Amino acid sequence: MSSHESNHARVIPLRPVTGAPAPTAKEPLLRHVVGDVLRRERQAQERTLKDVAEAARISMPYLSELERGLKEPSSEVLAAAAHALGLALADLLALSHRELVRLSRPDLAPSRRIGATPRPARQTSRQGEVRLAA
């Protein structure tokens, strides 16, 4: 081998790259989803961070961090924040669940999502009848 030749080895893949699974999007973190729900509920009630933090007996900066998904709150803190907004912990978690499903499974139609109320079966259409679905 001369000193002018490249010392780089040629790499031959063992398996063809075709058909490799496409990279999947990252699932949303629960703390982000819960924080978004808390903020949305607070803003829907037109309440300030200060008002809700005082009612929940947590600091205003901590509540802000919860809403921004920067903290992993305990169940006690979540319950306090939910109660300050007039929600039960179960309500907060149910709203968070719906949002999590919506974000992580956009391919599911609303009627096919977990927890969705099933639609009653429809009568079969008559011959020649045209129905449009939205």
| Cβ atoms of 85 and 45 closer than 8 Å | yes
Q: How far is residue 92's CA from residue 76's CA, in Å, rounded to a whole number?
A: 13
Evaluate if pTM is beyond 0.85.
no
Instruction: List pLDDT tens digits, range 58-102.
Output: 999 999 999 999 999 999 999 999 999 999 999 999 999 999 999
User: Which residue do the tokens 């081998």 mark?
Assistant: 1
The CA distances from residue 113 to 38, 102, 107, 121, in Å, are 22, 8, 10, 17
Q: What is the mean pLDDT of the chain?
A: 80
Structure-model confidence comparison of residues 98 and 27, the more confident one: 98
Instruction: List pLDDT tens digits, range 109-119.
Output: 555 444 444 44
